Structure 1
Amino acid sequence: MTRKFFGTDGIRGTTNRDPMTAQMALSVGMAAGAHFLRGDHRHRVVIGKDTRLSGYMMESAMVAGFTSVGMDVVLLGPMPTPAVAMLTRSMRADLGVMISASHNPFADNGIKLFGPDGYKLSDADEHAIEKRLETAPKLAKPELIGRARRIDDARGRYIHFAKSTFPEHLRLDGLKVVIDCANGAAYHVAPDTLWELGAEVIPLGVTPNGLNINDACGSTHPAALQEAVVASGADVGLALDGDADRLIVVDEQGRIVDGDQLMALIVLELKRRDQLKGDALVATVMSNLGLERKLSDAGVKLLRTQVGDRYVLEQMRKSGCNVGGEQSGHIILADHSTTGDGLVAGLQVLAALVEAKAPASELLRQFEPLPQLLKNVRFNGGAEPLEADSVRERIAAAEAELEGRGRLVIRKSGTEPLIRVMAEGDDPELVERLVDDICEAVQSAA
Structure 2
Amino acid sequence: MAELTETRERPTRAYVIHPDLGNSRTRRSPELALEEAIALAHALPAIEVVGAEVAKLRKPDAGMLFSKGKREEIGQHIAAAAEGEGAELVLVDGPVTPVQQRNLEKAWGVKLLDRTGLILEIFADRAQTREGVLQVELAALAYQRTRLVRAWTHLERQRGGFGFVGGPGETQIEADRRAIDDQMIRLRRQLERVVKTRELHRKARAKVPYPIVALVGYTNAGKSTLFNRLTGAEVMAKDQLFATLDPTMRQLTLPGGRRVILSDTVGFISELPHELVAAFRATLEEVLAADLILHVRDISHPETEEQAADVGEILDSLGVDEDVPLIEVWNKIDALLPETRAALRRTDARTEGVQAVSALTGEGLDDLMAAVDLRLAEALDEPRIEAELVLSHSDGRRRAWLHGQGVVLGEEMAEDGVHLRLRWTERQRAQFEGL
Shorter-chain TM-score bucket reads under 0.3
- Higher Cα Rg: structure 1 or 2? 2
Quick one: higher RCO (CA 8 Å, sep 6+), 1 or 2?
1
